[in-house]
Amino acid sequence: MSVIFMNYRSRDLVAPLWRSLAGGPLNTVLTLASVLMLALILPPLIHWAITDAVFSGTQEECRAASGACWAFLRAKARFILFAFYPGEHLWRPILVIVTLLGLMLASALPRLWGPALILAWPVTLALVWALMAGGTWTGGILARVSLNDWGGLPVTLLVWSTCMAFAFPAAVLLALARASDMGGLRLIAVTYIEVMRAIPMVAILYFAMLILPLALPQGVILDKLIRSTIMVALFWTAYLAEVVRGGLQTVGPGQAEAAQSLGLGYWRIMQLVVLPQALRQVIPGLVNLGIGFLLATSLLAVIGAFDLLNTARASTTDTQWLGFYDEAYAFAALIYFLLCYGGSRYSRWLETRLRRR
């Protein structure tokens, strides 16, 4: 009895699979081609990453082996993640990473969307910057750590979240300006958005490096990291504004007219009627843009700021462990991948959830 049952079950599972893989000549060819490709890629990859790899040991042992040198990561992971941040204060960047990831998670839950969350962003960011910097910012309780020693994942997350926190409200204002009935305002908004969107981010970073220091009043000196954060925030504002504008266009004019006839003023109409509907429409788009921005923070490496990608690259130039590019980049790629893949899965989940409503 049980044998018949098993047989029935397995045929039920196997037959459709067989049909989908080998039904028809074209399908069979595609399956064979896929298997051939896997056979070409997988064995060397497994040999490199696992069977021939060195998991612990010295540089010499790594050089002798043909596989990956994971021992390199054991030695350099701290540098890749935190750069030169002093060892006895390492709990601070760790806390920063945890706090910022927590803030992102909290922002991801539709249940928590509200004024409290909007307030939580600037407060958390101020605390986190103070925690990283120490010194006078924390009233002298924590030791000061120079910006030169910052690096790795906390810098990537800090730049990303600070720029987002500035750019999002600015983008809403810019989108409203572009959609307003005031010609002068529209002109300013359109010029800003189109110029920013046409130039590459690298050019913006060079502007932050070369020109912004000259444009500041005499005696004001900002660190490279701060300058690029300011410029990148201004840059992202234009991209976010276009997405928000797309949301504004989905809200029919009747909504605002109805609210106006109730005697509401412009800002109340926007706050209570138009923006909630408009933003809801484009949240998945905003999340996707946010993921793109997280990847784009890696461009800070071009101007020599120590973000996650640049620490990974710098770790390969250590004379003790020279030239283990693949391992360093694989490690950084894994972190970026986990953050961004998680984000894109979340965006898809949110899209179906919002559509269901």
Partner 1 sequence: MNIPLREAGPNEAGRGQSPHRRGVIPALVAWWGPRPYTQLALVLVILAGLWLLGQNIAAALEKAGISPGFAFLTRAASFQIGESVIPFSAGDTYLRAIGVGVINTLRVAAVGCVLAAFLGTALGVLGLMGNPLLTRLVRIYVELIRNTPLLLQLFFWIALARNLPGPKQAVHGGGIWLTNRGVYVPAPVVEAGWLWPLLASLAVIIAVLALRRFAGVRRGTWPVALALIAGLFWQAGLAFDIPALKGLNVRGRLVLSPEYAALLVALVVKFSAAIAEIVRAGILSVPEGQREAARTMGLSDWQIMRLVILPQALRVIVPLTTSVFLDLTKDSSLAVAIGYPDLVSVLNTTANTTGQAIEAVLIMAGTFLMLNLGVAALMNHYNRRVALRGEGRR
Backbone angles phi, psi at 307, to 5 degrees: -85, -175
Backbone angles phi, psi at 97, to 5 degrees: -60, -45
Region 103-122 residues binding partner 1, contact defined as CB under 8 A: none
Region 133-172 residues binding partner 1, contact defined as CB under 8 A: none
Locate all alpha helices (DSSP H) within 179-223, ordered by sequence: 183-198, 201-206, 212-215
Q: In angstroms, what is the minimal distance from the CB of 12 to partner 1?
A: 17
Q: Does 55 bind partner 1 (CB under 8 A)?
A: no
Task: Centre a 10 Å sphere on the Cβ of residue 344 and count the other Cβ atoms it contains.
Answer: 14
Q: In angstroms, what is the minimal distance from the CB of 68 to partner 1?
A: 14
Whole-angstrom Cα distance, residue 203 to residue 251? 35
Region 179-198 residues binding partner 1, contact defined as CB under 8 A: 179-185, 187-188, 195, 198
Q: Which of 97, 284, 332, 347 binds partner 1 (CB under 8 A)?
A: 332
Distance in Å from the first CA to the final CA of the chain: 48
Whole-angstrom Cα distance, residue 224 to residue 304? 9
Task: Centre a 10 Å sphere on the Cβ of residue 41 and count the other Cβ atoms it contains.
Answer: 10
Q: How is residue 259 written in tokens?
A: 């609210």
Considering beta carbons, is residue 71 or 175 the nearer one to partner 1?
A: 175
Whole-angstrom Cα distance, residue 208 to residue 179? 29
Considering beta carbons, is residue 145 or 332 the nearer one to partner 1?
A: 332
Q: In angstroms, what is the minimal distance from the CB of 89 to partner 1?
A: 28
Region 12-41 residues binding partner 1, contact defined as CB under 8 A: 17, 20-21, 26-27, 30-31, 33-35, 37-38
For 269-313, give the DSSP string: HIIIIIHHHHHHHHHHHHHHHHHHHHHHGGGGGGGT--BHHHHHH
Amino acid in position 56: S
Whole-angstrom Cα distance, residue 259 to residue 326? 59
Q: Which of 103, 167, 172, 176 binds partner 1 (CB under 8 A)?
A: 176
**Coil, helix or strand at residue 141:** coil
Q: Which of 80, 163, 312, 314 binds partner 1 (CB under 8 A)?
A: 312
Considering beta carbons, is residue 23 or 86 the nearer one to partner 1?
A: 23
| Binding residue count for partner 1, defined by CB under 8 A | 68
Q: In angstroms, what is the minimal distance from the CB of 326 to partner 1?
A: 7
Region 252-311 residues binding partner 1, contact defined as CB under 8 A: 253, 256-257, 260, 265-266, 269, 274, 291, 295-296, 298-299, 301-302, 309
Q: In angstroms, what is the minimal distance from the CB of 203 to partner 1?
A: 5
Residues 6+ apart with CB under 8 A from 164: 236, 290, 293
Task: Centre a 10 Å sphere on the Cβ of residue 17 and count the other Cβ atoms it contains.
Answer: 9
Give CA angle at 135 (134, 137), nearest 5°.
75
Considering beta carbons, is residue 159 or 309 the nearer one to partner 1?
A: 309
Considering beta carbons, is residue 8 or 325 the nearer one to partner 1?
A: 325
Q: Which of 15, 42, 203, 354 binds partner 1 (CB under 8 A)?
A: 203
Element (H or E) spanning 91, and its range? helix 91-108
Considering beta carbons, is residue 131 or 299 the nearer one to partner 1?
A: 299
Considering beta carbons, is residue 111 or 355 the nearer one to partner 1?
A: 355
Q: Does 221 bind partner 1 (CB under 8 A)?
A: no
Using an 8 Å Cβ cutoff, are 240 and 171 in contact?
A: yes
**Coil, helix or strand at residue 128:** helix
Using CB under 8 A as the criterion, which residues of the chain lie in contact with partner 1 when the complex forms?
17, 20-21, 26-27, 30-31, 33-35, 37-38, 176, 179-185, 187-188, 195, 198-203, 206-207, 210-211, 213-218, 248, 253, 256-257, 260, 265-266, 269, 274, 291, 295-296, 298-299, 301-302, 309, 312-313, 325-326, 329, 332-333, 336-337, 340-341, 344
